[in-house]
């Protein structure tokens, strides 16, 4: 029976590790229809050389910006190549950060699964070498508890990601749309309405950006226009903040990792040690 337990549980964790190795490729494949940065970059290249396609690839808020630029050019004419080059550059920045965040998640999952597998191997070795009496029910409970830890990890990852990046995405999107529309002499009221710059979410860390945006809106409303350099500086500051949030996100995810180890791995390991000591005394 011990041999059967050993083969069964080692097989489970080998399977999980194998699935984890292929997780990145599958996740990229599944995300392609919605988050294909390369598709939208190629689309922008096509626009700049005069190739017009019917459908804009979906990639976060950049797709909405491109749709508005194309509609504006179609209705009013004008050159949008400078805006397209800037969008392409910023998509690369977003792509770099998204890849970093994705790799952090994969690394955390791999470490968690590896350590959980070590606990199982320790249990099996203890059962085989010192005849530790652990029934199938105990193993199933341990497996279920640690798999529940993976679910907690995913939920925590989504919550931490939203906390650190949710607000800045809204700011970048609104400021980007407003600046591009105003650069192309789009009517002020329509630019404000389409970009939602008056409805930016409240965030303590982004208060300075919201205040600057309010001043720019007032200046544009009074003077009729504003230097494009002012918009570029504001967008650059948004991306700087985005990178800072990436560093904070990494630290927060490390905290989640420690919590998982403390709650879902360490108690199981100590429980096995306690069981071993109890049975040795008997």
The Cα 218–Cα 158 span in angstroms is 36
Predicted TM-score (pTM) of this structure: 0.72
Task: Give the whole-number percent of the chain exceeding pLDDT 70.
Answer: 78
Select, from the ranges 44-48, 157-161, 238-242, 271-275, the one with the highest average predicted confidence (pLDDT): 157-161
Tens digit of pLDDT for each residue in 192-240? 888 888 888 888 888 888 888 888 888 877 776 667 777 778 888 888 8
Longest dimension (CA), the chain: 88
**DSSP label of 211:** H
The Cα 104–Cα 249 span in angstroms is 9
Q: What is the DSSP string of 253-268?
A: HHHHHHHHIIIIIHHH
Q: Calculate the CA 170 to chain-centre distance.
A: 15
Q: Map tokens 């800045």 to a residue.
A: 168
Residue 231: closest CA among 207, 193, 189, 195: 195
CA distances to 93, 164, 165, 167, 245 from 205, rounded to whole Å, are 21, 10, 12, 10, 10
Q: What is the DSSP string of 97-141?
A: HHHHHHHHHHHHHHHHHHHHHHHHHHHHHHHHHS-----HHHHHH
């Amino acid at each position: 029976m011990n041999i059967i337990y050993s083969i069964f549980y080692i097989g489970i964790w080998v399977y999980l590790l194998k699935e984890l190795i292929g997780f990145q490729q599958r996740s990229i494949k599944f995300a392609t229809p919605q988050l294909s940065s390369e598709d939208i970059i190629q689309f922008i290249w096509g626009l700049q050389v005069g190739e017009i396609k019917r459908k804009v690839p979906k990639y976060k808020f950049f797709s909405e910006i491109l749709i508005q630029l194309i509609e504006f050019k179609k209705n009013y004419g004008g050159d949008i190549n400078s805006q397209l080059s800037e969008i392409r550059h910023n998509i690369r920045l977003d792509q770099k950060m998204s890849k970093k965040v994705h790799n952090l998640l994969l690394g955390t999952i791999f470490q968690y699964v590896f350590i959980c597998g070590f606990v199982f191997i320790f249990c099996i070795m203890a059962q085989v070498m010192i005849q530790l009496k652990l029934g199938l029910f105990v193993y199933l409970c341990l497996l279920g508890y640690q798999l529940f830890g993976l679910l907690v990890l995913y939920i925590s990852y989504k919550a931490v990601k939203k906390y650190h990046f949710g607000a800045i995405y809204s700011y970048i999107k609104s400021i980007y749309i407003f600046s591009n529309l105003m650069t192309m002499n789009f009517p002020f009221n329509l630019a404000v309405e389409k970009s939602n710059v008056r409805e930016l979410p409240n965030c303590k860390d982004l208060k300075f950006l919201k205040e600057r945006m309010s001043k720019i809106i007032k200046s544009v409303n009074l003077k009729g226009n504003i230097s494009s350099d002012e918009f570029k500086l504001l967008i650059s500051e948004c991306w700087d903040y985005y990178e800072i949030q990436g560093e904070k996100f990494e630290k927060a995810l490390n905290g989640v990792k420690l919590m998982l180890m403390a709650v879902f791995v360490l108690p199981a390991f100590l429980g096995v040690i306690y069981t071993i000591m109890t049975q040795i005394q008997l």
